[in-house]
Structure formats: structure tokens, C-alpha cells
Amino acid sequence: MSEPALAFRHVSVRYEPGAAAILSGVSFSIAAGERIALLGLNGSGKTTLLKSAVGLVPHEGEIRVGDTVLARQTLPKIRERIGFLFNVPEDQILFPRVIDDVAFALVRQGRSRDEVSARATEVLNSLGIGHLAESPVHHLSHGQKQRVALAGALVAAPRLLLLDEPSAGLDPPGKNVLAHLLARLDAAMLIATHDIAFATRLCTRFIMLEGGRVAFDGTDTAEVLRRWE
Ligand SMILES: Nc1ncnc2c1ncn2[C@@H]1O[C@H](COP(=O)(O)OP(=O)(O)OP(=O)(O)O)[C@@H](O)[C@H]1O
Ligand SMILES: [Mg+2]
């Protein structure tokens, strides 16, 4: 069997030493190519969990991405393997022009100019925003920025995607495009969302957090819907 794309073993998170744990004893693993929805009420720890997997918050326990355990020394290698979508697109858009922002991960990998440009354009087109390539990011609507940020997360074709509320603020056609696009990828995905229709459409497994603990981890959609109400 191949290595899990992501594995948490007894992971706890405190934002400050000695403060209350925001995540407590969280364990799960995601197989290569598996799509999992991360559900839970406001403040249950979804964003914290996603951030812990890319070393943005300190953790206890073990987090493993593929064959690599997350630690200070392995952080650059781990971040290179993960496509991360922040909850707020402004938090991750770095460049003033759309195409430059989307291309950044490829430029950092030292790819050729032609390759970078072709791939960035391809991803923008696949998200229905090819026409915005030359636009200044600050002229875009929220939903357009959301798609630009997603394009940046997808551009280097990572094996693992961590997406924080990717459908939030998108119009219904935008959600459709996104669901189709993600369903076509073979990357593993952990998708934090309150959008249960989007989650059940795209994901085959559901992890539900309650107060920073895993309250449910399973594939039974009916059970998830029952708990959701
Ligand atoms: N930087 C921080 N410092 C201290 N506490 C924080 C910090 N960020 C988040 N928290 C706390 O961690 C808890 C979990 O927050 P988190 O953002 O992970 O929840 P969430 O499940 O993503 O919620 P939402 O559905 O509203 O996005 C909350 O109680 C929050 O106040
Ligand atoms: Mg959140």
C-alpha cells in the first residue's frame, strides 16, 4: 500500500505554551487521492488543523506528509508538496498582477519562462478566469480573488491540497466549476467547509471536529447529514 498523503497521530495544538489546547489528540490519515471534508461549527478547529499541517501553528504529536515527518528542517520540502488555500484570499495573494501571483510557485521551482506562462494560463483557464490573467488583483471581486488564490494553490500540481472554505463566496456556477475541477484532480484533499452540499458532492469521507477533537470520521453521508442538523 502506498504512503498516506497526510497522517496525524495524537496531534494537539496550543497557540501559546500553557494555553488551552485548540486541537486535542487528533488522529487520522488520508490515502493518496482521497477527498475528505473537514466539518464542524465555527471555532471547532478546522482552520487550525489545516494550518498545523503546513507548520503555521505549533503542534505536539506527529504530522506526516507522505514519507516525511513535519519538523523545522523538513518544512520547506513539506510546503512544496502541498497546495494550500487560505480562508481569506488576500492572505495569500502576493503579487499585484494575477498571472504573476499564480505563476509564483513555478518560478520558485526554477521552471522555464515558457513553461511557467503556459501552465499558469492553463490553470487560470480551467478555473474560468483566463481573461483576468493581466488584471491587477486589487480590481477583482471576492469570488475572483478566491479563484486566483486557488489557481496559485493548484499550479504546481501538488499531491495534497488543503483547502479552507474553497466554495465560500462563490456564485452557483462558480461552485459548479470548482467542484468539477477538483473532482478531476487525482490529488488527495482535505477541505474545510460549512457548505454541506459541496462537501457531499465532492468528498467520500467526512471528519467532524467538536471542540478540537474528532467527533466523527466516516463515509456514511446520511449520518453526516443527521449530525449536521
Ligand atoms: N492566532 C490565534 N491565537 C489564539 N487562538 C486562536 C488563534 N486562531 C484561532 N484561535 C482559536 O482557535 C479556535 C479554533 O479556531 P479555528 O479558526 O481553527 O476554527 P474553525 O473551525 O476554522 O472556525 P470557522 O468555522 O469559524 O472558520 C477558536 O477558539 C479560535 O478563537
Ligand atoms: Mg476556519
- Convert the pLDDT of each residue in 58-96 to its tens digit: 999 999 999 999 999 999 999 999 999 999 888 888 899
Question: Identity (one letter) of the amino acid at 71?
Answer: A
Looking at the CA of residue 194, tell me the nearest atom of ligand 1: 25
Give per-residue burial for 69-106: e unless 16+ CB within 10 Å, then b.
ebeeeeeeebbebbbbbbbebeebbeeeebbbbbbbbb
| pLDDT above 70 for 14 | yes
| pLDDT above 80 for 126 | yes
Ligand 1 surroundings by CB, under 6 angstroms = 15, 22, 40, 42-48
Mutation pick for ligand 1 pocket among 46, 54, 163 (CB with most ligand atoms within 8 Å) = 46
CA dist 87 and 37 (Å) reads 15
Looking at the CA of residue 48, tell me the nearest atom of ligand 1: 18
CA dist 46 → 13, 111, 121, 139, 212 (Å): 12, 34, 31, 30, 8
pLDDT at 23: 98
Average pLDDT for residues 48-64, to the nearest whole number?
A: 97
Cell of residue 93, nine digits: 495573494
CA dist 199 → 105, 118, 192, 208 (Å): 27, 31, 9, 12
pLDDT at 91: 85
Average pLDDT for residues 217-223, to the nearest whole number?
A: 95
229 confidence band (pLDDT: 50, 70, 90): confident
Protein residue with least CA distance to atom 15, ligand 1: 43
DSSP string, 162-188: EEESTTTT--HHHHHHHHHHHHH--SE
| pLDDT above 70 for 1 | no
Cell of residue 164, nine digits: 479552507
Mutation pick for ligand 1 pocket among 11, 22, 26, 208 (CB with most ligand atoms within 8 Å) = 22
Instruction: Map grid coordinates 506562462 to a residue.
Output: 117
- Is 33-56+75-228 assigned to CATH 3.40.50.300? yes
Kindly give the distance from the C-alpha atom of residue 148 to the centroid of ligand 1, in angstroms, as a whole number.
24
